[in-house]
Homo-oligomer: A and B are copies of this chain.
Amino acid sequence: MPFVLRAKKLDFSSGGQPWVVVLQEKEARTLGVVLGDRIEVRWGRQRAIVVAYHTRKKVHKGEIGFFREIWRYRKIINDEPITIKVLSRPPSIEAIIKKLKGEALSYEEMHSIISDIVHHKLSKVEITYFVASSFLKEFSNQELYYMTKAMAVTGEMLKPTRKVVADKHSIGGVAGNRTTMVVVPIVASCGIFIPKTSSRAITSSAGTADTMEVLASVKFNMKQIIKMTKKIGACIIWGGSFRLAPADDYIIRVSHPLAIEPLDKMVVSIMAKKVAMGITHLIVDLPYGPTVKINDRPTAIKVKNKFLYLANRFGIKIKVVISEVHEPIGRGIGPSLEARDVLRVLQQKDYRPADLEIKSVKLAGSLLELTGKAPAGKGHMLAAEALASGRAWSKMREIIGAQGGKVNIDSEDLTLAAARHRFYASFSGKITAIDDKMVDQVARILGAPHDKLAGIYINKRLGQKVRREERLYTLYAQNADRIELALEALKQNRIFTIDRMNVYEGLKG
């Protein structure tokens, strides 16, 4: 039985999904709308499935309050009549229950779940049941394929227009790992089409999109991307500005509280985005180590095999490069400092970070071989040559220009935060460990990634010998308060572990 209420816009946010409406408490009871019930609301020609909350005073009897998420995306006029209807259990819920009971899902069932997630028909609690269902009984490869496909098709898709659409993807977790911004111009300068979408930092101090944003805009829609890449064959943009496998965001949101992301889900979400982008050739950079997402080689190999399986099902040519990491890559941590590292490599400055260049050349070389641009074993040379000759930097200038940035920028022109604090070794010794996670955490405390100018510059690498009073790293922040907060954190955990060589005195830094 439908009821009619009057609309009221409220300045409240539930965080996006599911959309939330608010009913006056007593009236909700009369209407039989239990707290958390899924209801259908209709007005004019519009329709949405939302979750109902209760309030005592914010809306009156006869009113229905809309959270910001709804009226930001849909036109709603205060006082206009809204028809509401309590809904029964949709097929996606039946499918989730089936999965919870340990049964395998068909493509249709998987699609109903993913589609309902995307269309705000499932609440957080319901999505949680779905995510939880994968724990005790892992999804079969077949189900992972179904899920990947469903995630791709329920979002925007780029029509494949050429034979080679290349991509490079790094599994996150390594501080400063900005190889994408070096690999893309190298590969594109060799004539390979590479429309690269990247993510912003979620829990880390910078994502590729955050760092690229220091140099140019990264927010573009599908149409703009198609136009841009047609001309110059490449882009480095933020994937979140259009709806690429949008179910992923909602799934991540319920994984966040437990800080658990099943690795299967990670592979699915990456591959769904590649499928949606019409990628044909893919290099995956899969680092493992004590402080990053994947901690050991056997797990890395398992993840690699999932990538190979899915890529094969979708007809994507793939190479997964496994590497062991124990320290940040590059010297800057935080968007501006990382962008400077990238420019130093592309502009071939003498003081460029060698590790970033070496890793980027290796990945670019593999991608050139995978796409057939270089014969086996020769990709590395071709990539190094593109960098040394300045062709890669020329291509990057084209990309920066197309994305509205300053094409004549020099690495040393980049602004960094004003408040600085330098850390020195308090005794001589050898650096035996660098805590990648702590580097990231301190950079966040300093303000990264939202404050693009903040971060850390690392002066020393793992295995290096340092003398007393030699500089170890520098903190950058907008103001002294932020530096103070970082120093507080650094009292409890240090970034560098130095083994004393001669003298014995208190550790610092």
Contacts and interface: CB of A to CB of B under 8 A. Distances in A.
Interface of A: 1, 11-16, 22, 25, 29-30, 32, 34-36, 38, 53-58, 68, 89, 93, 96-97, 100-102, 123-126, 128-129, 132-133, 135-137, 202-203, 253-254, 256-260, 444-445, 447, 450, 485, 488-489
B36 A100 contact: no
A509 to B, nearest CB: 19
A490 to B, nearest CB: 12
A135 B257 contact: no
Contact of A257 (B29, B38, B253, B447): B38
A128 B132 contact: yes
A89 B22 CA distance: 31
Contacts of A93: 257-258
A472 B100 CA distance: 42
Nearest to A57: B11
Contact of A54 (B13, B32, B56, B203): B13
B136 A258 contact: no
A506 B185 CA distance: 78
B259 A89 contact: yes
A133 to B, nearest CB: 7
Nearest to A15: B35
- Copies of this protein, total: 2
Contacts of A55: 11-13, 68
A97 B260 contact: yes
Contacts of A489: 1
A12 B445 CA distance: 31
A240 B85 CA distance: 29
Given A34-B256, A36-B256, A1 B135 contact: no
A136 B101 CA distance: 6
Contacts of A89: 259
Contacts of A53: 12-15
Contact of A135 (B13, B25, B100): B100
A100 B132 contact: yes
A30 B450 contact: yes
8 contacts: A11-B57, A12-B22, A12-B55, A13-B53, A15-B36, A30-B447, A124-B124, A135-B136
Nearest to A38: B257
Given A13-B53, A13-B55, A97-B258, A445 B1 contact: yes
Nearest to A489: B1
A445 B36 CA distance: 19
Most buried by B among A100, A135, A202, A254: A135
A491 to B, nearest CB: 12
Given A56-B68, A97-B258, A136-B101, A125 B128 contact: yes
A489 B488 CA distance: 66
Contacts of A123: 257
Nearest to A135: B100
A476 to B, nearest CB: 16
Contacts of A257: 36, 38, 93, 123, 125-126
Nearest to A32: B444
Contact of A128 (B25, B32, B129, B137): B129
Nearest to A29: B450
A26 to B, nearest CB: 8
A296 to B, nearest CB: 17
Nearest to A51: B257
Contacts of A36: 15, 253, 256-257
